[in-house]
Structure 1
Amino acid sequence: MSAHEIAPTALSSSHADDFQGRTRSVDLAGVRVAEFAMSPVTGTRTPTHIRRHDPDVYQLFLVHDGPVRLEQRRTDSVLEAGDFSLFSTSHPYFTTFADIGALTRLTILFLPGEALPLPRGTLERLLAHQLPARTGTGAILARYLTGLHEHAAGCDPADLPRLGAIGLDLAATFLAGRLGTANLLTPETRRRTLAARIDAFIDRHLGDPDLDPAAIAARHHISVRTLHLLFQDRAETVSATVRRRRLERARADLADPRLRDQPIGEVGLRWGFRTAAEFSRAFRNAYGMSPRDHRQHALNS
């Protein structure tokens, strides 16, 4: 599993007799995302391994269960859940996954060395460092990685290169922010990263009835015209995006048995509709039935 998914690496484990490991990956046309879960293990990549095969890839990984120890280029870090770290297949490294009584989970974003718009010498200052990712671009990148496997199967194959470009842009922006080299990013990388931030902002604020293009633009310090330009290559406008996502959340709540006793109007209000009548009208226009009919059908089927 390791040699195929990461690079040739010597593995050892105190759980050799009952070792468990699983992985799944998504190829995004030049960028790859893999999710791992495994028993406690120690991995060592030596100069001999590198001479045998070096894919020349940076691996930005997100720890879901810690602690994980990583050592590379004289930097030694202990990572906890929610931390990122970066390592390179072109240098020896050592890593240990602690025994937490369950499989340790992490997600790795594989980034070809030539794809990142940052100088290698500068980028390698981050190798094996603990990179917390609970706010800002790091939080958006973490959400992108964890959500990708949940939804990739339902994506049109033609969308995968675009998803890969978004992942690369988010990673480059996150790393550049840690290095203080955001000025090295291309205008297209900055544009796509801004669009990803706006998408995340919309999702977090769907319950705000005042969420509209003007509010979204003001929060991101851009004009409404610039906001609309960011959405011009999408199938729907900013307002249509907000309305669709609100309706999707409300529709899911109406089908949730745990919420069967919650008044329908309250469901609409929770997701940003100002009145029950407005919610009912928008729901019927989108789905061809009333919220009440949808709830009855979903809960009785």
Structure 2
Amino acid sequence: MMRSMRSSASLLPFFLPASAGQRYCLLHLPAPSQPPRGGIVYLHPFAEELNKSRRVAALQARAFADAGYSVLQIDLHGCGDSSGDFADARWPTWRNDVHLACAWLQQRVSGPLTLWGLRLGALLALDIARHPPVPLARLLLWQPELSGRRSMDQFLRLRLAARMLADNGQQEAAGHARAQLAAGHAIEVAGYTLAPELVQTIDELDAARLAPTMPVYWLEYSASATTLPAPAARLVQQWREEGTQAGAPLQLAAYGDGAFWSSAEIMECPQLLQATRQLCSDWLTEAGSVPHG
């Protein structure tokens, strides 16, 4: 049984008109008595990870709203409750969705805007930050994917594993899915139809080439909640070296709750929420802006 949370924040679900239909959104609003501090746009992870992480994302969004931030969660095109099938999803359309969400929130909220992404959503946030549609104050990255190609390889392994476990003799050679995509054919992975155009674009994304020029707050899972995985540690060092020249500070913290985006059970991750509160304390507690009126 999930515990209840007391909150004075309110929740507004709505559909945002967009290209090829509409996008399902959840807007977490601070209490009227809470001085507004700004806005946050949340970018969800890939495929089934979206569903696995909804609970934790909602808890964190509510915590941000309690701190005075308006938080917009958007289901990207072909995902969740938005228009389109996953087979229709394309990276440029997702970028346009983020542009739309940022512009929509900026027009309605006083204060700075933060882009918050989880997993592949964090890589999307880094991609957006190269040419942001509106001024961004900072990035919040939860367990960012560091390589688009590695992320897709991991996803494709779900297909290979399912074929190996199936008791129907339909085995598949390693690399067959990649060959099908390279030939321009869509494939099915874990119930999701994957378009070659989407995979090709994601393959080209590498966090090492996306060092942001704005403050970054990074949360990374570690079983010890203290030691970073080697790939993340190397990238952090590279970013800090590049960020020092660009004047973009990078703050980092680990948490030990677990990989909630792939867990068989829905998790709540109190350690992650606490680590986020501590890591982001400098802007979560800054003076609120004066409401327009």
TM score, norm. by length of structure 1 = 0.28
The structure where helix makes up a greater share of residues is 1
TM score, norm. by length of structure 2 = 0.28
Greater relative contact order (CA < 8 Å, ≥ 6 in sequence): 2
